[in-house]
Amino acid sequence: MPHEEVVARIREQLIEGHIAPGARIPEQELCRALNISRTPLREALKVLAAEGHVVLLPNRGARAAKLTISDVRELFEVSAALESAAGELACPRIGDSEIASIAAQHDNMVTHFEARDMPAYYACNRAIHEAIVQACGNAVMIGIYESVSARIRRARYITPMTEAHWRVAVLEHEAMLNALQRRDGPMLAMILKTHLRHKGREVERAGYAGD
Amino acid sequence: MPHEEVVARIREQLIEGHIAPGARIPEQELCRALNISRTPLREALKVLAAEGHVVLLPNRGARAAKLTISDVRELFEVSAALESAAGELACPRIGDSEIASIAAQHDNMVTHFEARDMPAYYACNRAIHEAIVQACGNAVMIGIYESVSARIRRARYITPMTEAHWRVAVLEHEAMLNALQRRDGPMLAMILKTHLRHKGREVERAGYAGD
DNA sequence: TTCCTCCAGTTTGCATGCAATCAAGCCTGA
DNA sequence: TCAGGCTTGATTGCATGCAAACTGGAGGAA
């Protein structure tokens, strides 16, 4: 198993919550699970610590990072900065077919909203946000966004919404798609910033996780 | 020597250019230089690779990352996004004394500009930009900014400026300080974004490094 | 009872050793 | 002479061993 994959596998376990936030990460157990020795595992943990998924306590091992309420605020602020910038950059760079694909996903999402199918809604929602960032033509931005985004993924895409907030979110997405189709970068950036601020507040209010 | 320090030391060598961009990083040599064995060194290299300072070639060792012209563009775009967001967040959060300290550094900077002392100017310049970000009250933002900023530090703070561009930069800094003192977040964000776009273009034009 | 001290078991961090991989020079055949 | 394959030395990636640090609990003093 190549080094990259070890990191990816553990990262996934952390993001998906299979390793509970705050839980100790026992080296030996993971070694057996992944069938590798301690050296590559420890290298992976160091990398994940640099990414913020893991906290390393000197001489006291690794723990899965736990999101505090202020982590959530900070991560949403950073996400807002990155997504809005990415959206603005994407407007002049994105291709027509990509816009069409986002529009299609948007329509799907609205359908799921009308059926009040929140998991399906969130899946489309996430796909749209990621597609916009992917279209920004900036690999560094995409990488950092993915890293930040991963840390709040569960909070962001699992927190239940009230009917009222959900409606607002859908309206904001309508506006986003509109701005994107008009390739109005500054407008898209503004909407994304507002949208993310709303989302962040809601997650904070909901207790930022549920787990 | 604790793990953190190993990473910091090598990172500094890379940022300062003591290890040339693109140069192979010989494990054994660094081991002797830092007086550690290969295991902690390799862990550090993995972390630096995750940060983008180093590229790891499977079975072929580590090399110091080399900035391409598009890396420079991308990093400046991300910097602009982060600094402008940080500036906007800082306006309501920054304390009066911090504003005063930035104003003082600004005055210093102007003095150095008038003396056309570019290294001293850049030192103040960098201090101002970092102080603004530091004031944003968002540790995640600060961390990511520092990481991104480090990768273009040399390009950003070493590239010579033409007289005309230099004058514009100083004017932009006047406007920044002004907005900050009025705590006008959106305005500060806008100025920072423009300022960074200008700087990025200039660095790209100048050949993005000089080394 | 409560707090402190000490000790055994476990875990971490690092050094080292070994197999696999790679770079480079040499030999062979044309 | 030159192209292609092979072999040698060096380097990488990983497994393991060992010393230092921590955890938790038992025992004793106040």
Q: What are the pLDDT digits (tens) for A169-199?
A: 999 999 999 999 999 999 999 999 999 999 9
Q: How far apart are CA A109 and CA A165, in angstroms?
A: 15
Q: What is the pLDDT of residues B93-134, one digit of tens each?
A: 999 999 999 999 999 999 999 999 999 999 999 999 999 999
* Ramachandran sector of residue B2 (left: φ over 0; alpha: ψ -120 to 50; beta: rest): beta
What pLDDT is attached to residue A1? 79
The Å distance, CA of A181 to C1' of D12, is: 50
Task: Give the nearest nucleotide to A25, CA to C1'.
Answer: C11
List B25's β-bridge partners, or say none.
Answer: B62
Q: How far apart are CA B165 and CA B157, in angstroms?
A: 14
Q: Does position B90 have pLDDT exceeding 80, yes or no?
A: yes
Please give the residue of chain B at the shortest CA–CA distance from A72. Answer: B140
* Short-list B172, B147, B148, B162, CA closest to B203: B162
B84 touches chain A (CB under 8 A): yes
Q: What is the pLDDT of residues B138-166, one digit of tens each?
A: 999 999 999 999 999 999 999 999 999 99
Task: Read off the pLDDT band of A207 (50, 70, 90).
Answer: confident
Please name the member of B81, B140, B148 whose beta carbon is closest to the beta carbon of A75: B140
Range 33-62, chain B: CB under 7 Å to any strand D atom: 38-39, 42, 56, 58-62
What pLDDT is attached to residue B209? 53
For A24, residues 6+ apart whose C-beta sits below 8 A from its C-beta are A61, A62, A63
Please name the member of A3, A46, A77 whose beta carbon is closest to the beta carbon of B141: A77
* Short-list B127, B205, B128, B207, CA closest to B165: B205
Residues of A in contact with B86 (CB under 8 A): 81
Do A11 and A41 meet the contact criterion of CB atoms below 8 Å apart? no
Chain-chain contact of B74 with A138 (C-beta, under 8 angstroms): yes
A163 beta carbon to strand D: under 7 Å = no
User: How much is the CA Rg of chain A, to the nearest whole Å?
Assistant: 18
B21 beta carbon to strand C: under 7 Å = no
What H or E segment, with its residue span, contains residue B57? strand B54-57
Please give the residue of chain A at the shortest CA–CA distance from B43. Answer: A43
Distance from the Cα of B50 to chain A's closest Cα (Å) equals 6
List B63's β-bridge partners, or say none.
Answer: B24, B55
* Short-list B211, B207, B210, B195, CA closest to B76: B195
> What mean pLDDT is predicted for residues A74-90?
98
Task: Give the nearest nucleotide to B61, CA to C1'.
Answer: D12
Q: What is the pTM of this model?
A: 0.94
Mean pLDDT in chain B?
95
Mean pLDDT in chain A?
95
A26 beta carbon to strand C: under 7 Å = yes
What pLDDT is attached to residue B208? 65
Task: Give the nearest nucleotide to B39, CA to C1'.
Answer: C14
DSSP string, B97-132: HHHHHHHHHHHHHHHHHHTT-HHHHHHHHHHHHHHH
Q: How far apart are CA A34 and CA A41, in angstroms?
A: 9
For A60, residues 6+ apart whose C-beta sits below 8 A from its C-beta are none
Chain-chain contact of A71 with B39 (C-beta, under 8 angstroms): no
What pLDDT is attached to residue A208? 65
Q: Nearest CA to the C1' of C23 belongs to which residue?
A: B60
Please give the residue of chain A at the shortest CA–CA distance from B137. Answer: A74
For A99, residues 6+ apart whose C-beta sits below 8 A from its C-beta are A180, A181
Please name the residues between 128 and 157 in chain A that touch chain B, using a CB distance below 8 Å: 138-141, 144, 148
pLDDT > 70 in chain B, percent: 98
Q: How far apart are CA B108 and CA B172, in angstroms?
A: 15
Tokens 């060792």: give the residue: B61
Chain-chain contact of A78 with B140 (C-beta, under 8 angstroms): yes
Tokens 């990155």: give the residue: A82
A56 beta carbon to strand C: under 7 Å = yes
Residues of A in contact with B2 (CB under 8 A): 58
What pLDDT is attached to residue B210? 46
